[in-house]
Amino acid sequence: MIKDDSKRIVEEFKRINSAYVLSHVDAEGDNLGSSLAIYWALKKQGAEVDLVNSSGAPSYLSFLPGFEKVISKTPELARKYAVILDSSNFDRLGAHKHLAQKADISINLDHHTDNQCLATYNWVEETAATGVVVYHLLKKLQVPLDKNIATCLYTAIMTDTGNFQYGRVDAELFAIASELIATGINPIHIHDEVFNQKDFLEMKCLGEALDHLTYEKDIKLAWTWFREIKDEFSHMASEQLIRIKDVDLIIIFKQVSPQLVKISFRSKSEKVSSRLIAQALGGGGHIKMAATVLSLPIEQAIEKTLEVARNHLYDLTHTR
Ligand SMILES: [Mn+2]
């Protein structure tokens, strides 16, 4: 446990009758699934809840129960509590960062080891997904797991482990998955909704990424770039490129606009820290998966990033 205010959070949570539920921009399965599970748990105790995500929710997750409750505008009413999910710091909340600061009491639930623990109470646990932290909280609260909550938590866990392929995939995780599935949810249906709904443009995007793929054999680096058609398309290329053998690090450059590039890092080797490289470029994340954003033309962003990454990998190659 990185920060353990769990006892206090359990007590505090029972008292919540009005709250913002907040999580990071560029929503994905874990932060949205975790947020919605918290939403349903708070609803069970009769709380008023504003579920806010500054960048909205991606359409491929529209099967999640409560998806339509997600708002991206500023809520009108002041809430006493803010529950913050899957976010290392308040900046990750985007335009609604101030809501976390405005609430009287903030509760931070996360699994990122670089969490800055800025809330009133922080529960940061090194787990496969924030969904697992939420599961632990709901167990302690003795909230019955219904199909709504189970769908949200299963989606959180499944997406953050790339369908149980990486991260903390262990016996406990499968025991949790089993308990969630036992509520009657359909894991095949959820898998299909998340992974098998790519549209034609997304496939073309992947084609561009594969076409630009470069491999630097001596340092086991593979990198590519493409023009981002839609924000939620970002994951697909890295899911494919991680399959290349003899690669320690994958870098994907997404040109969002002529002066803005989003960069994601995926490490395959235990020795390579995506986080260190991302941090050197003003970003952050996990050891195996991290990201940053550079306000530069794509050529300059690539040059700057590759210099940092190559140095990092070169040092490793020459010390192992
Ligand atoms: Mn997560």
What 3-state DSSP class applies to 80?
coil
| pLDDT for the residue 233 | 66
Distance from the alpha carbon of residue 317 to the mean position of ligand 1, in angstroms: 30
Question: How far, in Å, CA of 45 to CA of 77, rounded?
Answer: 19
Distance from the alpha carbon of residue 129 to the mean position of ligand 1, in angstroms: 5
Q: By the 8 A CB rule, do 64 and 32 touch?
A: yes
Distance from the alpha carbon of residue 30 to the mean position of ligand 1, in angstroms: 5
- Cα angle 269-273-278, degrees, rounded to a multiple of 5: 135
Q: Which domains are delineated in the chain?
A: 3-195 (3.90.1640.10), 200-317 (3.10.310.30)
Distance from the alpha carbon of residue 123 to the mean position of ligand 1, in angstroms: 14
Question: How far, in Å, CA of 69 to CA of 67, rounded?
Answer: 5
Q: Which helix (H) or strand (E) holds 105?
A: strand 105-110
Question: How far, in Å, CA of 8 to CA of 96, rounded?
Answer: 25
| 138-189 pLDDT per residue, tens | 999 999 999 999 999 999 999 999 899 888 999 999 999 999 999 999 999 9
What's the pTM value of the predicted model, to 2 decimals?
Answer: 0.82
> Bridge partners of 124?
3, 110
Question: How far, in Å, CA of 72 to CA of 239, rounded?
Answer: 28
Distance from the alpha carbon of residue 218 to the mean position of ligand 1, in angstroms: 32
Question: How far, in Å, CA of 220 to CA of 110, rounded?
Answer: 32
Distance from the alpha carbon of residue 33 to the mean position of ligand 1, in angstroms: 10
Strands 105-110 and 18-23: unpaired
Question: How far, in Å, CA of 30 to CA of 129, rounded?
Answer: 6
Q: Max alpha carbon distance in the chain (Å)?
A: 59
Question: How far, in Å, CA of 168 to CA of 176, rounded?
Answer: 13
| pLDDT for the residue 248 | 95
Residues of the chain under the 70 pLDDT cut: 230-234, 319-320
Distance from the alpha carbon of residue 310 to the mean position of ligand 1, in angstroms: 27
Question: How far, in Å, CA of 80 to CA of 105, rounded?
Answer: 6
| pLDDT for the residue 4 | 97
Distance from the alpha carbon of residue 318 to the mean position of ligand 1, in angstroms: 33
Distance from the alpha carbon of residue 58 to the mean position of ligand 1, in angstroms: 16
Distance from the alpha carbon of residue 232 to the mean position of ligand 1, in angstroms: 16
User: Which of 81, 79, 98, 82 shows the shortest CA–CA distance to 90?
Assistant: 98
Distance from the alpha carbon of residue 28 to the mean position of ligand 1, in angstroms: 8
| pLDDT for the residue 232 | 59
| pLDDT for the residue 320 | 54
Count CA within 13 A, CB hemisphere, residue 46: 1
Cα–Cα distances in Å, from 179 out to 56, 134, 159? Answer: 30, 14, 17
Distance from the alpha carbon of residue 320 to the mean position of ligand 1, in angstroms: 31
Distance from the alpha carbon of residue 113 to the mean position of ligand 1, in angstroms: 11
> Bridge partners of 18?
48
| pLDDT for the residue 166 | 85
- Residues with CB under 5 Å of ion ligand 1 are 30, 86, 130, 160
DSSP state of 71: B
> Bridge partners of 87?
none
Distance from the alpha carbon of residue 111 to the mean position of ligand 1, in angstroms: 7
